[in-house]
Structure 1
Amino acid sequence: MSLSIVIMAAGKGTRMKSSRPKVLHKLAGRPMLSHVIASTSGLQAAQQVVITGHGAEMVEAAMKAEFAQAPLQFVRQEPQLGTGHAVQQAVPVLPDDGITLILNGDTPLIHASTAQALVDACAGDKLALLTIRLDDPTGYGRIVRDETGVKVLAIVEHKDATPEQRAICEVYTGMMAAPTARLKHWLSQLNNDNAQGEYYLTDVVAMAQAEGLSVVAAQPRDEVEVLGVNSPAQLADLERRHQRAQAERLMEQGVRLADPARFDLRGTLQCGQDVDIDVNCIFEGNVVLGDEVQIGANCVIRNATIGRGAVIHPFTHIDGDTLGAHVGEGSLIGPFARLRPGAQLGNEVHIGNFVEVKNSTLGNGAKANHLAYLGDATVGERVNYGAGSITANYDGANKHRTVIGDDVHVGSNCVLVAPVTLGAGVTIGGGSTITKDVPAESLAVARGKQVTLSGWQRPQKIKR
């Protein structure tokens, strides 16, 4: 039986107090809507329909860029006249058979297994609602059951509920699965005879009941799956809940987190054995940490692989972006170091404080311990790169490469003007500006001759 997924993402999100559409606000470094689309991508749906409205062009562009290979369709709800009106906009692109699963774009942590359970509960001949019991159900539609407590009779929106109905703790999460043909018929019968003058999707429950169709309920494993976001405070709360859950999963695998409340994962993190992570670290994109890796406090690591036994000292920033970054086994990085895209470090490499490496390869045992820059460079093994030295890789129009052979010693405060090659075993005298290739086992010094004037007097300040 074919499955269609409809995601409601048209709301303005007034309480977010932002010009950005609500569903594009980020949780764990990713737009909320992206989480919903990604979590349901494994359900083998024939189509995914995203209903946009406020900021439609921005939302559609963002999703097309992120899910270029996904079979996404977009329909617009303009103006926004309620949830029922929103789904009505999807009717022209829905088939006449199968099951339609309706999800919320601002409820980002729905699990694929929960969505699948909702589809299974529908089974093509029932209306299935995703419900949950909350200690504080304020704002949610209440589930009204018969006197036996088994049969679902209706969903009453909070704004329209009586005091008795507001005391009900079981709520509708805004997500349902229905036979597509019946859903299309029910949507055509909706009216806006309610306090808000809107077309409520929840009214289809009464229609299903009137037709004798069974209305069933499914529940998520955890309430975090169904918590929606309507304000910055709710977004922040959901962020911390999500991060805590990710931290607990890592600790169950043996990762030692100094404080799971001060940990952020905004992508995927794969860890070997005996990994230690200090406080306030952020991991983005795809990060792999080998066995016995130590990450110091306040580090940011994105799209990088860190080899076994490497130590990343505090306040280090590693950003591999699309090129990736690699730190070899036993390397020491930081504190206050920066590795940019294309940094590929061998084993036992030392990158010290205030050293920046970009699009460069460093061989085993190479060291740049202080205040240096290596950009577009190929650095051999056991190179010692002095404090204050840089590769001048940009001529104002094009980038050029510097090649440094094995066992080279570059003195402090040197400038290597690319393109330039230093042969194996070369020594560069401190303070030199090197513009020509240097053959192996040579000493190169390129600086002005020192002049010393005896008895020289400094100028005196003139008193006025």
Structure 2
Amino acid sequence: MALNIVIMAAGKGTRMKSALPKVLHKLAGRSLLQHVLDCTAPLQAAQRIVITGHGAEQVEAATAASGARFVRQMPQLGTGHAIQQTVPVLPDDGTTLILNGDVPLIRSETARRLAEACSDRALVLLTIDLADPTGYGRIVREGGRADGAVQAIVEHKDATPEQRLLREGYTGMMAAPTALLKRWVMALSNNNAQGEYYLTDIVAMAVAEGVPVLGLKAADETEVLGVNSPLQLADLERRYQRRQAETLMEAGVRLADPARFDLRGELVCGQDVEIDINSLFEGRVELGDGVRIGANCVIRNARIAAGARIHEFTHIDGESAGVSIGEGALIGPFARLRPGAQLGAEVHIGNFVEVKNSQLGRGAKANHLAYLGDATVGERVNYGAGSITANYDGANKHRTTIGDDVHVGSNCVLVAPVTLGNGATVGGGSTITRDVGAGELAVARGRQTAVAGWKRPQKKR
């Protein structure tokens, strides 16, 4: 039978104290809601429905690419009221899986198990045993036994002192036969302390009709924790990063300190990779065998081949074009590689060197205080400190071509478009505006003049 997934994302999130809708706050570089959408993608649902409310237009625009369908809850009168808004777009058969847009780390496998346990016949609740279940609805089981049949969920605000002692909490996620769910939610009442329509009240309806009510316990607390405040968001960020760090270390990656590691995308590592403290990875990053990443690096959308060393405080941002670094290359410290940088094997890029949209051949070196933009650089080139390619004329970008074995002295300006032939040499301090032939020496600077007996001006007393 068809699976429909409903994600509740209408809440304001008052405790976030932010103008941004709660579900758009980011964890590991993605919004809370995007995490849930990504989790559900492998389930191949017939449709995914996101219930929006506060900041609806902003939330819908931010997640439009997911292909989800949106329904609005205006005003927000509780979780049951939220599901009522989906009734017109839900079919009359199959299973509906209900998730929360502010519970970002639910695992795909857990969501799948929840839907499968329903089997279009049972109401299945995802629960968790907590040391402190404050704020969670309590699971009330027959006879108070841990294995007793689920009889009801009591919201924390409505629970008696005895019920608040229960440790099994409802996570806010469930799966139900769609036809029954539609009928139950339309029969809800708001006769409670908050004057809201509670989705949890359908448990009593299911019990009264003899429909099986199952409690499926989540594997761990982290995957069912919600975000209601900046403190909770920060706590979940560290939990998520620890989970990612442990996965990498189990695969053989050596992290200097897993508590000081951040991954906001996908990191693929070969054998014997070492990552020092405070490094941040975003987008898709591939690290070959034996790559070493120094402390305090930022690496985004890059492929780094085996044996390369990225020294401390290096910033690599491939954006959509990507950055590639060849085997045995040495980068940094304090280097910056921008989109389109393609560095061959054994290339050296040193401190305060910036490379953008340029290709460097094997063994090329730019070790200090230099800029290479829109350039094609041959093998074994030595590019001097303080030298730049002047690639922009105020309207258009132009390319610089540097052949193999070229030596560019310090403090040179190569005004593109210009070509330096194989083996050419450019004297320090030169501004090159015309092509230089293979093996030629080019010097373009004012002639040095010495004035004998010259004295510096003196201050008047």
TM-score by length of 1: 0.98
Instruction: Choose 148-157 or 93-102, whichever is displaced more.
Output: 148-157
Shift of 1:455: 2.0
Q: What CA distance in whole angstroms lies between the structure 1 residues aligned with 2:208 and 2:35? A: 36
Q: What CA distance in whole angstroms lies between the structure 2 residues aligned with 1:456 and 1:21? A: 71
Shift of 1:56: 1.1
Shift of 1:451: 2.0
Q: What CA distance in whole angstroms lies between the structure 2 residues aligned with 1:234 and 1:269? A: 25
Shift of 1:458: 2.0
CA RMSD between the two structures: 0.9
Counterpart of 1:126 in structure 2 is 122
Q: What CA distance in whole angstroms lies between the structure 2 residues aligned with 1:451 and 1:32? A: 67
Shift of 1:408: 0.6
Residue 108 of structure 2 is aligned to residue 112 of structure 1: yes
Matched to 1:23, the amino acid is: V
Counterpart of 1:8 in structure 2 is 8
Identity %: 75
Q: What CA distance in whole angstroms lies between the structure 2 residues aligned with 1:88 and 1:425? A: 75
Question: Are 1:114 and 1:219, in contact at CA under 8 Å, matched by a contact in 2?
Answer: no
Which residue of the other structure, out of 70, 75, 93, is the alignment partner of 1:97? 93
Matched to 2:50, the amino acid is: V
Shift of 1:460: 2.2
Aligned length: 459
Matched to 1:200, the amino acid is: Y
Matched to 1:95, the amino acid is: P
Q: What CA distance in whole angstroms lies between the structure 2 residues aligned with 1:196 and 1:462? A: 84
Shift of 1:44: 1.1
Question: Are 1:56 and 1:76, in contact at CA under 8 Å, matched by a contact in 2?
Answer: yes
Counterpart of 2:445 in structure 1 is 447
Counterpart of 1:274 in structure 2 is 272
Counterpart of 1:175 in structure 2 is 173
Question: Are 1:308 and 1:329, in contact at CA under 8 Å, matched by a contact in 2?
Answer: yes
Matched to 2:12, the amino acid is: K
Residue 362 of structure 2 is aligned to residue 364 of structure 1: yes
Q: What CA distance in whole angstroms lies between the structure 2 residues aligned with 1:71 and 1:371? A: 47
Counterpart of 1:18 in structure 2 is 18
Q: What CA distance in whole angstroms lies between the structure 1 residues aligned with 2:164 and 2:459? A: 83
Shift of 1:54: 1.0
Counterpart of 1:317 in structure 2 is 315
Counterpart of 1:143 in structure 2 is 139
Q: What CA distance in whole angstroms lies between the structure 2 residues aligned with 1:347 and 1:417? A: 27
Q: What CA distance in whole angstroms lies between the structure 2 residues aligned with 1:193 and 1:288? A: 56
Matched to 1:262, the amino acid is: R
Shift of 1:197: 1.0
Q: What CA distance in whole angstroms lies between the structure 2 residues aligned with 1:246 and 1:57? A: 32
Counterpart of 2:306 in structure 1 is 308
Structure 1 stretches (4+) deviating beyond 3 angstroms? none
Which residue of the other structure, out of 151, 158, 161, is the alignment partner of 1:160? 158
Matched to 2:78, the amino acid is: G
The superposition leaves residues 206-228 of structure 1 with CA deviations (integer Å, 9 ceiling, x where unpaired) of 11111111100112211111000
Matched to 2:38, the amino acid is: A
Residue 210 of structure 2 is aligned to residue 197 of structure 1: no
Shift of 1:461: 2.4
Q: What CA distance in whole angstroms lies between the structure 2 residues aligned with 1:71 and 1:275? A: 37
Q: What CA distance in whole angstroms lies between the structure 2 residues aligned with 1:76 and 1:437? A: 64
Mind listing any 5+ residue stretches in structure 2 that lack a counterpart? none
Counterpart of 2:61 in structure 1 is 61
Shift of 1:104: 0.3
Shift of 1:459: 2.2
Q: What CA distance in whole angstroms lies between the structure 2 residues aligned with 1:99 and 1:71? A: 20
The superposition leaves residues 354-413 of structure 1 with CA deviations (integer Å, 9 ceiling, x where unpaired) of 000011100000000000000111110000000000011111111111111111100000
Q: What CA distance in whole angstroms lies between the structure 2 residues aligned with 1:439 and 1:21? A: 61
Matched to 1:37, the amino acid is: L
Shift of 1:121: 1.1
Matched to 1:446, the amino acid is: A
Question: Are 1:121 and 1:217, in contact at CA under 8 Å, matched by a contact in 2?
Answer: no
Matched to 1:191, the amino acid is: S
Residue 411 of structure 2 is aligned to residue 405 of structure 1: no
Residue 68 of structure 2 is aligned to residue 72 of structure 1: yes
Residue 458 of structure 2 is aligned to residue 460 of structure 1: yes
Matched to 1:282, the amino acid is: L
TM-score by length of 2: 0.98
Shift of 1:462: 3.1
Q: What CA distance in whole angstroms lies between the structure 2 residues aligned with 1:63 and 1:456? A: 72
Which residue of the other structure, out of 275, 284, 287, is the alignment partner of 1:286? 284
